[in-house]
Amino acid sequence: MAAARFLVEGKVQGVFFRASTREQALRLGLRGIARNLADGRVEVVAAGAEDAIEALARWLQHGPPAARVDTVQREDFDAAAVAAAGFTTG
C-alpha cells in the first residue's frame, strides 16, 4: 500500500473539487480525505495501490471541469496514518 498527500492550488474551492476527487478516488479503490484549507487550497490524502495513487495524481492536475488547477504539490505519506474507511470529504 502506498500513500501520498497533495496540495492543490488554483480555482479549486466552490467548483465541486472535493466531491469529484472523492468520486475519482472511490473509482480507483483509494481511501483518504479531501478537504478545503483556509488559504484556498484543497488538501488530498490518499492511500491504496501505487498505480491508483498515480492515476489520482494525474487527475488532480486538472480536476473537474469547473476547476482551474495551477499547481499540485505531492509528498509521500505514511499509509498506516490514513485511517479513514472509504474516502471522505471534510
Catalytic residues: 18, 36
DSSP structural state of residue 86: S
Work out the number of other CB atoms within 10 angstroms of the CB of residue 41.
20
Taking the CA atoms of residue 28, residue 23, residue 68 and residue 89 in that order, the dihedral angle to the nearest 10 degrees is -110
